Structure formats: C-alpha cells, structure tokens
Structure 1
C-alpha cells in the first residue's frame, strides 16, 4: 500500500505549525522532539504538544479533537487507546486507515478532519530495514487493537503466508483476521508460538506504565525473531528476554521514526529526513 501524495494532504503551506499527540501515559513520548527538531532543520516553526488523558481524565476524545481543530492545529497524532475510537470524530479516512480500521494521524484542512494510518508504512519500513532477511512465512501477532490492525495488514502486504493473531479480548483476533486472507485467530498462544518464525508485540504490555511481557519467556525460542512496537522503554522486557535467548530483535525505534516521517509530511507538506529524525530519537537515550 503506497502512501497518498502529501501535496494533496497538507493543511497549510505556511511556515508555522502546531500539532499534538493524544493518548494515555505519553509523557515519555519522543514524537514532539522529532517533529520540532525536523521543523527547525527545515527553517519551519513547530509547536508540538502532548495531550495526555492520564493527566487530564476529564477531557473526552470528542472535546480534544474539536478543541485542537478550533485552535488551529495542523493535526493530531493519536496513540493508545484512541486509534479506533477517533474514527467516529472524522469526516474522511485514507485508504490505509479504512483498510486497517484505525487512525494514528488526523489532519485538519478546510473545516474537514482527515484520518490516516502512518503506522502501516512505519512498521513496513522498520521491518524491511531492521530485519531485512527475517522469515515472515508464519508470524504470531499479539494484539488486535489499532496498532495490531496496521501491523497485520503490513505483514500481509510484505508477503506473510500465515499470520496468527492472538488477543485476550473476546472476538478481537477473529474480527481482525476476517479482513486478511492469510490471517487466522490463535486460540492457544503456546501452539501459535511453536509454529511461528517470528513474534510481534502490538499490545501496550511492556510500556513503562504497564510492565511485563505479553508472552511467557518459555514460549520463546532462539529461532524466533521478535519485534516490539513499544519504545518507552526502548528495550522492553520482551526484547531483553528474547535477546538473552539468542533471538534477533527489532525495537520500536524504527516504527516510531518512520511513522513520524510520514505524519510530518501530512501535517506540513514538507518531506522529512528519516535519518535526521532517527538521530533526534536516539539523542534522547535508550530509556
């Protein structure tokens, strides 16, 4: 799936932009720094704000989106747990957002709200460049939420022969699998791991505010490659344990950087430098 031309999507050609990230427990996000540093490097002005509903639980999603639009934001990034809920507050969805069923980037333009999914391309580029020779013949995807939907479609487009989707919520894995020919819901996590060549975590388990692992350590094998989309912390417990067992691992860095590259282009109409954004990400340290 190719990203839509940014020239058609940019909200403004002016040199000053205001954006934000909506989510829960996002104070450690590196997204503001990546956007602001990239804007500065391009002689643009960017103010990027965190809208953390853990800090202000009284604000609901409808109010947040409406307020941002009224205050002249170019757009919003959206993260856990709002990637699917935000769709009800938008006027138009990109092809990627429709297919995935989740939105992580909202662009405000001419009184309309446009929803996009840059996670799809972000994960595709991360896996392609970070683990270029990883076998995706049989992949276990843990998590069927907004991020899981993007990753499932990305893996299918990359050529996965089978995607086993596991989610603890009743019906969530089956619902996602219905839209992807090569996907099926996994009822037994141990059985799915035993068959899989790779394991991907698309749940929030492992975040600083939700420590732990989405799969038991004894289900990991050295032959597995293991990817996590979380980047705070960058080395989640899952990745640490997998690495200690000899697994090749992929952190959430690549997806965080590449989705931001695409979002920056959607917000501003200017093409971002991925290497420069990655340098900003890494300058913030490993934790």
Structure 2
C-alpha cells in the first residue's frame, strides 16, 4: 500500500483522491490518497511545518500541495527539483529515505492544457489574475507559451511585484504589474484566472463581466465547478474559454509518477475525471 494525499484548505470536493487511486488500481497496486484539509482538521497555517514532518515520519511516499500552502511549504522541505526552483512554488512533494523534495507540475500541466485546449490563441497581451503559488506556475507557463506582454494583477500588489521580479530573468521587459483595481481590457488578448475565486468554497467572479469581449480568450484554473461564473460570463460574450480540468489532470498525472515512481496514463486519467462526474 502506497500512502499519499493532498494538503490544503477547503479541499473536500477535490477530485485528486479519485484520480490517483483509480490510476493505481488500473496498474494493479493500492494507493491510499488522503485529504489533509486544514479547515476540516481545525489547523492553523502555523501548523504546516509540524504536519509535514509527521508525514515524513509516517512512511508516506509523498503528497500534493494546494492553496494556500504552495509557497509556504518550501521552507519545510529538504530540496527543490528544478521545476519548483524555477517557479518558486511547490505542488508535489516526494519523500525518499526521509528526505522531502518539492516539485512543480502545475506549470507543465497548465502549459499543455492551453496548448491543447486553445490552439491558435493570441498571446500578445495576457492579463493574469492572481500571483500566489498557482499564479507563479501559470505565469511561467504563459511566458513559455510566447506571451509578449504579461500583466499580473493581485489583491496584494507586493506579491504581484515579487512574481514579476522573479520572472524578469527569463522574460525581461515582458512582465508588468497591474493595479488591483484596474481590470481594463482594451489591449488584452487573453485572461487567466489564477485565483481561488470561483471555487465551490469561494464562489464569485474575479473580474467584472463588462470587461469581457469576444476578442478575448478566457482560461480558469478552477476545475470544481468546471463552469465557473467567469467562464459562463465569458461564453455569453462570445469568448473562447478553457476550464481547469485539463490542467488538474495533467498536473496529477505527472505528480502520480513523482510520488509513486510508476508511469501514469494521461488518457485514462482524463477519462476517469469524466467518469466521476
């Protein structure tokens, strides 16, 4: 039996247990994937270090990390893989011989999801909402996809500035910070929601729909629900849209391999996500 799980807040609706356990069963072994929900467990953010250390001691093979711990977990790990070091955030941790190594599969998951789901999309100017752990991965992916101008907007301007500075080494002059109150889209060709706004536990819409037009494509990393308020509003205005299901399965497929050491089948995991709905 391989033990794994997900650390985060308000994650009871997560599809990760189903995706990981079904893939393990298809390969002929058992995997126990637990939800370590800090809200349900009544734990404070400050408890993260001790909780992670307990997982190290309990012979857990590894775990995934989601909001709001993708950056906070770094200080509690022994090493970072190149993917996590490049992004500055961790969503997957492998535990081997008592050592914990952080990885990031969000970046490649989002990049491939956009490439497959929005072929021919215009990356001239992209407005990204959110600069947290997931936002760091999304921003790196957008630069890789050829975004000529990436405008980052976050409720915490200092966090947006820190992300922009981290990206300058690979995208000098292509990344700017937006004022959190400025959602104008006159020159924008695409919008990505990398905030938790729109999740089942955090309903809402991160931008006034009046700023959306058919000339703009819209992607949301939220996958539960798939039809977020943002995507519904965007489709009503004729926008091309992309939900978060492709990203979540692609990052999960890579994370499965990192944690278990077994190869994963992306097509099967994509089908399993649909089967559970």
TM class by shorter chain equals over 0.9
Match of 1:103 in 2: 90
CA-atom RMSD in angstroms? 1.0
Residue 58 of structure 1, CA deviation = 2.8
> Deviations along 1:220-279, whole A, 9 cap, x unmatched?
111111000011111100001101111010000000000000000101111111111111
Q: Deviations over 1:157-215 (max 9, x none)?
A: 11111100000113111111112222110125333x22110000000001111111110
Structure 1 counterpart of 2:157: 170
Is residue 37 of structure 1 aligned with residue 3 of structure 2? no
The answer to whether structure 1 residue 210 and structure 2 residue 198 are counterparts is no
Relative CO higher for 1 or 2, CA cutoff 8 Å, sep ≥ 6? 1
Report the counterpart of residue 2 of structure 2 in structure 1.
17
- 2:114 matched residue in structure 1: 127
Instruction: Name stretches of at least 5 consecutive residues in structure 1 with no aligned partner.
Output: 1-15
Q: Which residue of 1 aligns with 2:217?
A: 225
Q: Report the TM-score, using the length of structure 2 for normalisation.
A: 0.95
Residues 82-124 of structure 1: per-residue CA shift (max 9 Å, x gap):
0000001001001121111100001101121100000011001
Find the counterpart in structure 2 of residue 8 from structure 1.
Answer: none
1:64 aligned counterpart, secondary structure: helix
Q: Deviations over 1:31-71 (max 9, x none)?
A: 11000000011111111000001101236111221111111
CA contact (8 A) 2:9 2:39 kept: yes
For residue 270 of structure 2, the aligned residue among 270, 275, 278 is 278
| 8 Å Cα contact 2:130-2:193 kept in structure 1 | yes
* 1:179 aligned residue: 166
Deviates more, 1:236-245 or 1:56-65: 56-65
- Residues 2-58 of structure 1, C-alpha deviations (whole Å, 9 max, x = no match): xxxxxxxxxxxxxx3110000100000001100000001111111100000110123
Residue 239, structure 1, aligned to residue 231, structure 2 = yes
Segments of structure 2 that go 5 or more residues without pairing to the other structure are none
